[in-house]
Structure 1
């Protein structure tokens, strides 16, 4: 599968997730005395929409990259995987209504806690995956 196709499918899925979490957000706003959705429902909605458009950026750079297609596919997947994991965590926190700051210690997750080392490792992997994936595509574009 071409990197551009992966990026476009990802764009569509993130956009759909943004639309659906927007409905969830609206339902929560309607049912709230303060006319607010849970913090992470709002974050999931906005992040999904933002990542949909970020996938279009990845698609464009992948289509202009001189690297072999498998390199471009892996670069797109690296970024998209961490976009999806981030949105997934926001959706879970919104469903659990367990925290307003997933990075605050102790790291609450549902009725339990995540070890601090796990959050630190995940965040550094996210940084490497998202930035690294894009840098590969950007370098492929620059080399063109």
Structure 2
């Protein structure tokens, strides 16, 4: 992108999210190392590891979404909506992993009973969140991806 080109809001959101997710990945990597260094088994809690890896993977996914947004033929408002949906749920997923890593309350957030610290979450809440996550991440990515595919083909 040349200095004279203006980024759309969707592109700005994707690039900002990529930076935030990448930094989260680096910082959770320090946390993971700290846990491993103090563990007799040299292992970090499962959700500390998942938070670290998912943050890094989502950072590059955000870059890809930004590239798709930059080429999309869809109107800016639709690209922004797609980016917000996907990125928002990427962030919520990472946040969930960090919370479980901090609380060390589960090794599988989808195993019954659904634990969050000392509390038990109702099934409808966990599965409702997962359905919303699927719709938002796939739907948002589909908006940006189809817009870019329409532009290149």
What interval of TM-score do these two structures reach, taking the shorter chain for normalisation? over 0.9
- Runs of at least 5 residues in structure 2 that lack an aligned partner in the other structure: 1-7
* Cα-to-partner distance string for 1:17-55 (whole Å, 9 max, x where unaligned): 000000000000011000011100000000000000000
- 2:101 aligned to which of 78, 94, 97: 94
1:111 aligns with: 118
1:135 has 2:149 as partner:
no
2:3 aligns with: none
1:59 aligns with: 66
Question: TM-score under structure 1 normalisation?
Answer: 0.98
Structure 1 vs Structure 2 CA RMSD: 0.8
- Runs of at least 5 residues in structure 1 that lack an aligned partner in the other structure: none
1:122 has 2:107 as partner:
no
- 1:72 aligned to which of 50, 70, 79: 79
- Which structure has the bigger radius of gyration? 2
2:52 aligns with: 45
- Report deviation, 1:139: 1.4
Q: State the distance in 2 between where 1:23 and 1:141 align.
A: 36
Question: TM-score under structure 2 normalisation?
Answer: 0.92
Aligned-partner SS, 2:41: coil
Q: State the distance in 1 between where 2:91 and 2:56 align.
A: 12
Q: State the distance in 2 between where 1:136 and 1:130 align.
A: 10
- 1:9 aligned to which of 16, 24, 27: 16
Q: State the distance in 2 between where 1:87 and 1:77 align.
A: 15
Q: State the distance in 1 between where 2:18 and 2:119 align.
A: 32
